[in-house]
Structure 1
C-alpha cells in the first residue's frame, strides 16, 4: 500500500506543473487518467482499450478531454519544453529536426494523403508529423510534434473545416517552415541547445539553412551528393563581355566529386553494443553554391561551411554540411552529425510503447493532443530513468544512461531512402525494469 502511494504521488508530483496550467478541475482529473492509460500495459493505446484497462465505464470522458477544442493546450507544450530543458537542456544539447509518419487506411483523418511513409518504407496513405527532439548524451525528449498538411488538404478548405483545422494552419507550409516555427516557439520558451541537426529532407533546402544561420544557430544537416559547392578560396571577379555583375573565378562542383579526391579516415563516434561505432569520414571547408543565381541556373557562393562525407561499411556514402567552427576536429564533426540517430529511437518508442500511432480520431485537435500526451508520458519515463541513475551514485565523470526508457528495434527504412540509416541503440531497460514505484502508477 505504501509503495502504491509512493508511485502515485511520484506521477502526481511530477505532473503538478502541467496540471497547474490546465484550468478546469475536470481537465486536471482526466489528464492523469489518460497518461496512465498510455504508460500502462496493453498493446493498443486507443481510447476504448485504455478506458477498459483503467476500469472506466466508458471512454466518452477521455474522448472529450482529448478532442475538445474548447481549451488551449499550448501552455502544456510550453511546460513540456521546460521539463525537457530541465532533464537534458544545455549548451551541449542538440535539437533534432525530423518527421515521422503514421500509416492510415482511411482518407478522412486529418492530413492523411499518399506520401512517403518511413514506417512502411514506401509511398502510402499516412499522416506526417514534423518532430523536434531535445537530446543530450543520447538521451532524447521529444518537445514538438506538428502535422504537415499536404496540398490535397490545403487546397480544400471545406475538408480542413470538417477536420477542425485552425484557419491559420490551412496555409500551405513546407515541413521546414513548420520546423522553424516550432523552433522559434521553443526558443521563446527558453529551451537551451547548442546545435540543430536535420537530415537531407530538410538540409537540401537553402532557405532552411539560411534561416538557421539568420537565427545565429550552429547546425549540421544532410544534403544530396550533387549539392554544388565552391572551394573556400573562391573569388568574385569582373566578368568578360558586357555583363556588369561579378562572377565566381571558378566553376562549382558536386559535393561527391569534391570529397572523392580527399583522404577518408576512420572515425569512431561512440561505443555501441558490439564495440565502437565507426565509419570513414572526409571533411573540407567549402562555400556552398546557394547564393543568387548568376547564369545557367548556377548560384553564387554563399557562406563558408564544412562539407563532410561519411563512407559506411556497407559502401553507402552520405553527405553533410555544417557551420561548426573551422577548428572543429573530424571526430567532433562525426559525433555531432551522428547524434541525430537518437530521434529515430524516440519516434519508434513513442509509437510502440506509448501508442503515438494508435489514435483513431479524425480531428486536428485530437491528433495533436494525443501526440502531446505521448510526449509528456515519454518525458516522465526519462525523468524516472535519470533520477534512478543519480540515485545509484554514479560519478559525474561516468556516462549518463543512453537512449529512452524502453528497448525496441529501430524502424527500418526503405533501401536507398535519403535519410541517415538508423543505428542500433545501446541496450536500455524495458518498462518492466524501471523503478518499482512506476509499476504502482501503471
Structure 2
C-alpha cells in the first residue's frame, strides 16, 4: 500500500532527488518520533543534515496541488461512496512570532481562546468505508492580505487575496465536485451554516447539506421569520425522536431530534431546521438542512453525526502524521508540508478502512476473534516496527549532536549580536 502510494506521486517530481526526499519525509512523518520537523526527521532517516528536507519544502521544483490531487484520487479509489459527506472545519496551530505566513492573534479552537496562531480550513471525505482529509486551505487574515510587503516576504502569490473561511470551504468543495468526486452531502459547524452564500452555492450544485447554525439563526416559516431557539420552544413533545448520531468510542451517541419544515428561495429542494437535544442535560443544537429530494430524519441525523469525523481526522493526523508540527514560514512550504502530512495520514486511514471492510464485527464492534479491527495508531506502530528501518548507530547520533550544538551556538551568537546592535 505504501509503495503504491509513493509510486502514485512519483511523477510529480521531475528529479530523483526531491522524489527520494519526499519519500523520506513521509516515512519520517509516519515514524514514532516525539517531535516531527526537518531536523528530527533527517536524523531519523539517516541524513547528515536537514538541508535536503528543507530544500524539498522550500526551493525544489514541484507542485503541492498536483500531489493533493493524487491524494484525493488515492482516497476515492478505496473509500468512494455516492452517499459520502464532504465535511469542512478549521483548526489552528499555535505559533510564536509574526513572520510565519498567516499568523496573527486570533481565536482558535485548539486553545479555546485568542492566541497567536495560524488557522487553516480542511476538507474531509467521509463515507461508509472510512474517512480521510483530501484538501486544505490556509486562512490569511486581512492583516496579511492588506500588507503586500509582508505577503511578498512569505512568498504569498500576488493573486491570493482575502477570503473568509466559508469562502475557502466553498472553493474546496467546488474543486472536488468539479473533479468528479462522488458525494451527496456537506457538513460543517456554525461558521459555515450561518453563511448564506455558502448554502446557496451548495444548493446550486445540488449538494445536500446539514450545517450547524447558531441559536440566533433566523429561518423563514409559514408564520414569518423565526429564530431557531424560538422555534425549538414550540416543538411538541410527540415530535421528538430518539436516534443515534453514530457509534463513538463508548458506544452509540443517542440524542433526541426534531424536524421543522422551513421555506427558502429554492422551490426545487427541501429545507428544514433540525434540532438536537441532549438526553441528559437538555442542551440544544441547531442544524440548517437541505436536500434535493425528500429524505427521512434518520438520514439527516446520520449526516450530522458524520461531522465528528473531521475532529477524528485532526486528532490522528496531528498525533500520528505531524500535521501541526511544521516549522516553516512561507506559503509554498506550508502547503508542501501539510499536503505530505495528509498523504501520510491517508495511508493510515485507508489501510485501517480496508482492514475494517474485511472484518465482520459483532454487536459491540469487535471481530469474531475478540479483537477490534486495526486502528490508525496500531497500523503506525506495526509499520514503524516491521517496515521502516531507521538509522540508529552511535556514530550517526553523535554527529547529529555535534551538528545541533554548533547550529544552536551560531544562532545564539547571532541573536546576541543583533541585541547589542539594537541597544541604544
Q: TM-score, normalised by structure 2?
A: 0.83
- Give the alignment partner of residue 192 of structure 2, picking from 202, 215, 240: 202
Query: Contact (CA 8 Å) 2:106, 2:115: kept in 1 or not?
Result: yes
Q: How does 1:242-391 map to 2 (within 5 A)?
A: 250-262=223-235, 263=237, 264-288=240-264, 304-312=270-278, 313-324=280-291, 327-390=294-357
* Alpha-carbon offset, residue 122 of structure 1: 0.3
* Alpha-carbon offset, residue 30 of structure 1: 0.9
Aligned partners of 1:356 and 1:437: how far apart in 2? 18
Query: Contact (CA 8 Å) 1:285, 1:326: kept in 2 or not?
Result: no
The reply on whether 1:226 has 2:199 as its aligned counterpart is no
Cα gap change, 1:41 to 1:272, in 2 (>3 Å): closer
Aligned partners of 1:39 and 1:117: how far apart in 2? 26
Q: How does 1:33-432 map to 2 (within 5 A)?
A: 33-68=24-59, 70-137=61-128, 139-169=130-160, 171-231=161-221, 234=222, 250-262=223-235, 263=237, 264-288=240-264, 304-312=270-278, 313-324=280-291, 327-390=294-357, 393-394=358-359, 429=375, 431-432=377-378
Cα gap change, 1:287 to 1:14, in 2 (>3 Å): same
- Name the SS of the counterpart of 1:82 in structure 2: helix
Aligned partners of 2:19 and 2:89: how far apart in 1? 31
Q: Tell me, which stretches of 5 or more residues in structure 1 are unaligned?
A: 1-9, 235-249, 292-299, 403-425
Deviation larger for 217-226 or 255-264: 255-264
- How many residue pairs match? The answer is 379
1:378-420 alpha-carbon deviations (Å, 9 max, x no partner):
1111232233345xx535x989x99xxxxxxxxxxxxxxxxxx
- Name the SS of the counterpart of 2:324 in structure 1: helix
* Alpha-carbon offset, residue 349 of structure 1: 1.4
- Name the SS of the counterpart of 2:349 in structure 1: helix
Matched with 1:238 is: none
1:323-368 alpha-carbon deviations (Å, 9 max, x no partner):
1256422222211111100101101211122111111111111111
Query: Contact (CA 8 Å) 1:273, 1:427: kept in 2 or not?
Result: no
- Name the SS of the counterpart of 1:114 in structure 2: strand
Matched with 1:407 is: none
Aligned partners of 2:334 and 2:233: how far apart in 1? 46
- Name the SS of the counterpart of 2:159 in structure 1: helix
Cα gap change, 1:117 to 1:435, in 2 (>3 Å): closer
Relative to its length, the structure with more helix (as a share) is: 2
Aligned partners of 1:267 and 1:314: how far apart in 2? 16
- Give the alignment partner of residue 441 of structure 1, picking from 373, 387, 393: 387
Query: Contact (CA 8 Å) 1:287, 1:302: kept in 2 or not?
Result: no
